Amino acid sequence: MAKQVQLKDGIEVVVRPLTRDDFDRSIAFFRSLPREDRDYLRGDPTQPDVLERRFQEQDSGEVSRIVAVAEDEIVAECSLEMTGRDWTSHVGEVRLIVAEPYRRKGLGMLMAHEIYSLAASFRLEKLMVTIMRPQVAARNIFRKLGFREEMVLADHVRDRKGRSQDLILMRCDLEALWKELESF
């Protein structure tokens, strides 16, 4: 599934599935993210044990991850978590993070397109994303991708600094999402 693509500014990246050979590149990627980006991650993937759990989730099939690689460094990661339990087996949760120097170059949209293709191959019908209220840029990106805010849970989660945050659940229909992507 590896694809070599050129971004808006001419930089070439390879988009492909994450592999165990990417362990050190993954740690380096997450450590390179600005502190404010890392404050909103579910865990701390700069820690080897947390990163190992992420690889185990992928090995088990609970999560599929793709990465964008430029000059042998991971510059973006997108994941699709299959909720896969009975009444939500048709729903997947998307996570997307792009390194700061690669933002606003079309990479986020490219990664989203790849993960949506993967979701379609799993016959998912709906995708969701959960975001903390301060993540305004992330909410805007997902709105552009066709996601709509469905629910806000006040003070439901804590960021990495221990502060209570509202959790926003955004959702989209995969069929409607393909229409949005085609318009881009």
Q: For residue range 108-163, what is the model confidence (pLDDT) as tens digits? A: 888 988 888 889 888 888 999 999 998 888 888 888 888 999 999 999 999 888 88
Give yes or no for residue 169 having a pLDDT over 90.
Answer: yes
Structure confidence at residue 179 as a pLDDT band (50, 70, 90): low
What is the extent of the structural domain holding 29? 3-183
Q: Which residue has the higher pLDDT, 106 or 184?
A: 106
**Strands 91-98 and 126-132, sheet pairing:** parallel
Least confident segment among 82-86, 95-99, 178-182 = 178-182
Distance CA 137, CA 91 (A): 24
Which tokens is 83 given?
């909720």
CATH code of the domain covering residue 90? 3.40.630.30
Torsion of CA 174, 14, 97, 171, to 10 degrees: 0
Q: How many domains does the chain have?
A: 1
pLDDT digits (tens, 9 = 90+) for 32-83: 999 888 888 888 888 999 999 999 999 988 899 999 999 999 999 999 998 6
- Report pLDDT for 148: 92
